[in-house]
Structure 1
Amino acid sequence: MNTVEPHQPIGLTTVSRTVASLAVGVVHTLERAVVGEARMRTARGNAWEAVCADRARAEQRAELDRLVAELAAARAAARERQPVS
């Protein structure tokens, strides 16, 4: 025989989940209203932004590596030109 209590107490986790769910719904609705349907952030958009950011960081690292190599080469050339005392 299965007995079900008609008035089960609401736990703290149930309240927290409910509040979090409502907050997400409000933020989603607000974002849709403020930003517009066409500019809503999506997983695909977030992934593309991450790819673009990774590419930009790689380009910056390559540029910095190139500058360091030029500086090292210039320093080595300057040392070769100095007379030995």
Structure 2
Amino acid sequence: MATASPTQPIGFATLSRTLVSLAADVATGVQRVVVGPANVRTARDNAWDAIQADRARARARVETSRAVAAMIATGPARSRRTASLAGSRH
């Protein structure tokens, strides 16, 4: 029966995962201290904020499209002479 010896070297991947885990724990602890345990951001909070930002951008695009359409509709009308001159310039 083979047993793992306690002196096996730690691999780079294991060390990296451990360091990232520790850093995440420290960051979470600092956030709890700074903003309080009741105000810690969750993935759900982040997702909701992203949805709201997407909706705001969509509203802004619609408003911009409407404004451009209104400017085009109320812009100065080109006369037939101006249009025919522009068409004959090659």
Matched-pair identity in %: 49
What are the ranges of 5 or more consecutive residues in structure 1 without an aligned counterpart? Answer: none
In 1: Cα distance, 2:23 partner to 2:65 partner: 46
Let me know the Cα RMSD of the aligned residues: 1.7
Tell me, yes or no, if structure 1 residue 30 matches structure 2 residue 30: yes
Offset of residue 5 of structure 1? 2.3
- After TM superposition, list the pairs within 5 Å mapping 1:43-58 onto structure 2: 43-58=43-58
In 1: Cα distance, 2:6 partner to 2:18 partner: 20
Report the TM-score when normalising by structure 2.
0.79
Q: Extract structure 1 runs of 4+ deviating beyond 3 A.
A: 82-85
In 1: Cα distance, 2:12 partner to 2:22 partner: 15
What are the ranges of 5 or more consecutive residues in structure 2 without an aligned counterpart? Answer: 83-90
- After TM superposition, list the pairs within 5 Å mapping 1:2-81 onto structure 2: 2-75=2-75, 78-79=76-77
Report the TM-score when normalising by structure 1.
0.83
Structure 1 residues 16 and 83: alpha-carbon distance in aligned structure 2, compared to 1, 3 A threshold = closer
In 2: Cα distance, 1:24 partner to 1:64 partner: 41
